[in-house]
Each structure stands twice: as C-alpha cells, then as structure tokens.
Amino acid sequence: MHIWVNKITGHAQFDLKNINILNHYIGMAPIVEESIPELQFMPYLLGYMIAGALVTFLWPRRFLVWAGLINLALVGTAGFYDFWRWEYNYGHNLNPEAPISIPGMAYQPPILGCKQILNIESCSWPHIGGISLLLIGIILSYILYSERFKKRA
C-alpha cells in the first residue's frame, strides 16, 4: 500500500482491495480515502512548506532557515503522531463479529520497520516523499551548522 499526500493506492491494481478483504476477516474497517481527512488538507500543508522554502531560497536569511527547520520538525512530529494514532485505531477498534477473532489480539502495523502480525509480515518504510523530507532536514541542519562557523571566521 502506498500513502501519498492526497490518496492511498496499492502497489499493484488490486492490492488495496485485497488488503481490505483480509482486514475484513479480522474486523478492521476498510481503508478508504474518504475516511482519512488528512488527505484533503495535506496538499495545502505541503504547498505552504514549499512556498516557505521558495521564500527562503529567494531571500536567504538565517532565521528563515531556522523557521523552515522548526516547521519541518513540527509538521513531521505531528504527522508521525497522526499516522500512529490512525494505525492504532485501525488495529485496535475491531468488529467483535469478525469471522476471525482472537481475544486480546491487536493488528497495529509498525510506524517504521517490520512486524509479524499472525502469518503476515507488515512493513512500513518511507518512500521518495519521506526520504526527501528527511534529506531536506539534513540539508537545512548542515546549512545552519556551516553558517555558524562562517560567522566566526
């Protein structure tokens, strides 16, 4: 499954449908874009961050780099928490009338890494967007670090 800034898709054509069929048997709600409000406003949030980066590029000031780095950290932290909360709710709020019900069993996938859930290995890794955001954070940190030493010289 791929989670984009504005949609959810499977790797192949019927992957998301198959995931929802499997989830039905253990009592999980179906994964549908309409039930995830974040997909509606995330493009605007990303646009805001890109606009801030463009302003910083066109008018380079240290405080703007700091603002971008802090903004990235806050949005990233909120995003990780929201994703964890979303996974928690999907994996713990199960239909008690599900065809397969194991008392006390939760099906929360990992936020990062891999986890064995019954006979399925569930993995969660960042893709191009997440890796790009991590690289941006590293670059902004490097800029601040190198500018600190330029000022001393």
Residue 100 lies in a domain: yes
Residue 115 lies in a domain: yes
Residue 28 lies in a domain: no
| CB burial of residue 121 (10 Å; 0-12, 13-18, 19+) | exposed
- The dihedral through the CA atoms of 69, 74, 79, 80 has a sign that is positive
pLDDT in tens, 58-80: 998 889 999 999 999 999 999 99
Residue 68 lies in a domain: yes
Number of separate domains in the chain: 1
Residue 17 lies in a domain: no
Residue 117 lies in a domain: yes
In the chain, the amino acid numbered 105 is: M
pLDDT in tens, 88-134: 999 999 998 888 888 888 889 899 999 998 888 989 999 998 899 89
Residue 33 lies in a domain: no
Length of the chain measured in residues:
153
Query: In terms of residue numbers, what domain contains 128?
Result: 40-152
Whole-prediction pTM: 0.80
